[in-house]
Amino acid sequence: MVTGSTYSISLLKAENCNLTDEKNTNGDTTAIHFDEVFAYIGDFGLFQWLLFLMLGLGVMPVGWQSMSSNFVVGNQNHWCKVDALANLSQYLQKEISIPIETLQNGEQEYSKCFVYDHINYTQYSQEDFSSWNRTLHVFKTNTSTTRCRHWVYDQSVYTSTIVSQWDLVCDDAWMAPFVSTCFIGGMFFGSYGAGATSDRFGRKKTLITCYIGEFIFALIAAFMPYYELFLVCRFLVGVFCIPCNMVAFVLVMELVGSRYRSKVAMQLWFATGFMLLALIAFGIRDHFRLQLVLAAPRIVFLLFVFILPESPRWLVTKGRIEEAKDILCKIASINKREFPSNVSFITNDKKVVQGKTSDLFVTPVMRKRTLIVCLAWLAIYICYYGLSLNASTLAGDPYFNTFLNAALEIPVWGICVVMMDKVGRRICLVFVLIFGGLMCLICIPLLFFPDLAMVVTAFSILGKLGASGGIVVIYLYSAELFPTVVRNVGVGAGSTSGRVGGMVSPQIGLLSSTWIALPSMIFGIFGLIAGVASLLLPETLGQQLSENISDVENSDVNRK
């Protein structure tokens, strides 16, 4: 009998941690597969709830860091700065010095990038400015325009952003969404490193390293005096940020019974962080202070990781059996269960043949599945990040739009989880892709009617919800479509396509300057094409998972 100490700094320092002897008169050990330990420690007891809570809180910063560009890089309304008119009201400054432009939807607004040239404002008095006749003065002086060198920024929505700090407007407007591209690029590289690092050094050490790395670079980014250095920091935040989600998900899955794994969704914590971002940014409208506040909680959540255990499943694979059994004993104690002392674990000593990327294309069926899955991932993430990062630019309050975008992800997750088991994975994926694509395409004619701006906002949010549902479905569905020998490679290829889509999506928004409806058209077409193509995939609900590529070929023949 092994008895643990009372609760202290470790979650697993519990009383009455008993390694009990099973009824076995010969003293023989009981050999079990690891998944059988849940019969002793419990599938989802108090310990698993605490684990889900503590790691889930650590996933929330991933949500707000991923979408913080909505406010840190918020596009403030701006116009050319004319020093001679600095003492006048904003209205008079624009009325006197800024030409009016007609937008693609027929609306007129003051130019953001041009100013009247060759006007000597010193010859006019305050009274002249107060009674200024734009048409008369422009006509009489035959005024030309020139590009702005300096700008004035509206502070009614954001008091400051990096856009106003570094003048990321007009010819440099592409530099603002490039911040999101760099961040998602960091996530792209971080997702590759996370798996290998956590498999080699353990889940806990990887999480601690990534928590610290994200905190440090998110904090440093706020103090960066130059745009280029800020980009580097945001890239590194992305590198360390995504493993905080991925590794936490793996750790929870490894300590939860199989019948509960589909119900434990870390993306709910991501959505919660996304929602909190809108509330925090509403109260803190200065990008410097906002970045500090978004960085700070990570160091608090780090304390939770220190008191959590290493994954006993990982310890078993590394041959550290006694450590694993000690942790399992303490988990059982917290769950008011008992773990037997005479247990040994069955491990597969055979060398696992690792699939290669080229294996995804060796047969016609594998090629078809791989290309369609990659297309679906690409479409989902192009739409998800493109529409999420566009939430603050839609008509209406940017804080409310962002909050609503995030809040609606929670019921979408619940609906998709239920429907996947009711109507199948394929129908769910096809529906959410086509639904999201249609919502984006419906926006196209509406964009040319300024009075329907709020309707455009509504359809954009619906389109984004289609992409959110796609994320829920594609993770499970793509894993079931590929055989065991290339399952990780297949899901990895799809995930790579998704990250590429996420990286290019911020730049797609810039195409609205070419044609106002072009981004919506691109998002919509991708959704429709991917949705229709997904009809060619087989249903996997209730089907036995394929072990090798020949099984995939045979199953496809049998379905025909």
151: left (phi over 0), alpha (psi -120 to 50) or beta: beta
pTM for the predicted model, two decimal places = 0.84
Q: What is the mean pLDDT of residues 134-153?
A: 73
Q: How confident is the model at residue 483 (pLDDT cuts 50, 70, 90)?
A: confident
What would the two tokens of residue 452 be? 């329907």
The yes-or-no verdict on residue 124 having pLDDT over 80 is no
| Domains of the chain, first to last | 1-74+177-345 (1.20.1250.20), 78-125+133-153 (no CATH), 350-555 (1.20.1250.20)
Q: What is the mean pLDDT of residues 37-64?
A: 88
Q: What is the mean pLDDT of residues 293-305?
A: 90
Single out the residue of 222, 239, 238 nearest to residue 288, CA to CA. Answer: 222
CA distance 383 to 464: 7
CA distance 188 to 497: 10
Contact 91, 83 (CB under 8 A): no
Q: What is the mean pLDDT of residues 402-411?
A: 90
Q: State phi, psi for 105 to the nearest 5 degrees.
A: -90, 10
Per-residue confidence (pLDDT) for residue 450, from 0 to 100: 86
Distances (CA, A) of 302 to 266, 295, 529, 544: 17, 12, 43, 40
Contact 197, 301 (CB under 8 A): no
Single out the residue of 61, 460, 463 nearest to residue 273, CA to CA. Answer: 61
430 or 304, which is more confident: 430
Per-residue confidence (pLDDT) for residue 321, from 0 to 100: 84
Q: Tell me the per-residue pLDDT of 499-557, one tens digit each, with 9 for 90 and over.
A: 899 899 988 988 888 888 999 999 999 999 999 999 999 988 877 667 677 777 776 65
CA distance 375 to 477: 14
| Per-residue b or e along 168-194, where b marks 16 or more CB atoms closer than 10 Å to that residue's CB | bbeeebebbbbbbbbbbbbbbebbeeb
Single out the residue of 536, 510, 531 nearest to residue 437, CA to CA. Answer: 531
305 or 559, which is more confident: 305
